[in-house]
Amino acid sequence: MMSFLIEQLINITDALFLGHVGEIELGASALAGIWFLAIYMLGLGFSVGLQVVIARRNGEQKYEETGKTFFQGLCFLLILASLLCLLSKFFSPQLLKYLITSPEVYNAVVKYLDWRIIGLFFSFPFLAIRSFLVGITETKPLNLAALTAVLMNIPLNWLLIFRYDMGISGAAIGSSFAELCSLLILVAYMFLCVRKHKYGLSWRIDIKILKEVFSVSVWSMLQFFTSVAIWFLFFIAIERLGEIELAVSNIVRSVSALFSVIVTALGAVTSSLVSNSIGAGERNAVFPLCHKVIRLGLYIGTPLIIIALSLHPLIIGAYTENPVVKQIAWQPYVVMLLNYFFALPGYIYLNAVTGTGATKTVFFFQVITTIAYLFCLWGLSNLNVRLATYWSVEYLYVIMLGIQSFIYLKLYNSKNNRI
């Protein structure tokens, strides 16, 4: 949970500071942040498949294979970071120019991405190490890494945005540097605390293992990319409503990120534990495990939702002093918070399917759900509806994913999903 919190806290910090620069910067940080997140999700998707394979080997007690698998994933993610960084530098400005209608918002988005994309060289190796540590169930160092990123990002944002008057570019530089600091924490832990001989940690390229990992990961990459790509299209639709609505949606998205971290982290743990259980021959433990994780998510999330609803003037006010933005934000804010109760079981069941190794099936679920989601979004764009109505489409998204995944798990046969 703490490791997933890094990327979201960085985005939240950027939004908090940029909200006091102006509505254009606040809205632009939403579009730029999601565009970057879509690129980042290709690496995260690969790391999820990597984690599934590492966890399966760990459950089978093939400990040396976990280290070999980790290094194949690390090499691939470093190459992928280089490729995506180059492609983004050349093509992102041209693509965004056709999608964003406001010239001011477009210029701010490009300024942010010019510096933010460099963070891939730090976040992708972090994902590889995180997959290894979660796969072998050693997650404590991820707390320190998350804390380090936040402690670095907050003062850097203040210095670069306000003190040195770098605006949205300063937010991007601070965020990338914060990711570098969190990576250094995990690298130090790997060198000092992980038993290298037990886990077979040595630099060696094994194409066979890489192919095995990629065959599992490719569908997770497509699934994760698609999930954020439609999120970007959602914000493009909001951008056409106006700069105020875009700024409001970034505030709501920023607050929702905290609850998304809980759901995403518990989902990742579910995936890893399901894979470990199947590797250990405990197929019948899948549903009881899912239900325990859902209950845990409710224990964690429900009090936080009550607090967020009670303190909404303070929370929204932390992002902006504009009374119009504060007034418009209330309804979508409530809609977003209540979606947690549908997203939690939906993503737990979805990640349980990923843990079985059926990443291709998960991607097909994503495609079916995405088609329905975009159809609803297109319908709303032709109607004069409130901003909160756009946010309610998220309910359809998570419910459809959950139902499809639940049915699959009921019919699942572990013999058909060997890794």
Regions of the chain where pLDDT drops below 50: 415, 419
- The per-residue pLDDT for 11 is 74
Range of the domain at 86: 2-416
Q: Are 278 and 353 in contact (CB under 8 A)?
A: no
- The per-residue pLDDT for 212 is 85
Structure tokens at 251: 């505030």
- The per-residue pLDDT for 3 is 60
Structure tokens at 404: 């499809």
- The per-residue pLDDT for 18 is 84
Torsional class of 176: left (φ above 0), alpha (ψ -120 to 50), beta (otherwise): alpha
Residues 220 and 226: their CA atoms lie apart, in Å, by 10
- The per-residue pLDDT for 188 is 94
E strand or H helix at 126: helix 120-135
Q: Are 123 and 40 in contact (CB under 8 A)?
A: yes
Residues 239 and 157: their CA atoms lie apart, in Å, by 25
The alpha-helical segments, DSSP class H, found in 311-411 are 312-317, 323-338, 340-355, 359-381, 387-411
Structure tokens at 374: 């975009």
Nearest to 9 by CA among 320, 392, 17: 17
Structure tokens at 358: 């059926």
Residues 91 and 190: their CA atoms lie apart, in Å, by 36
How many domains, in total, are found in the chain?
Answer: 1
Residue 333's alpha-carbon distances to 30, 103, 308, 313, in angstroms, are 16, 28, 9, 11
What's the CA dihedral at 244, 250, 252, 257 to 10 degrees?
A: 180
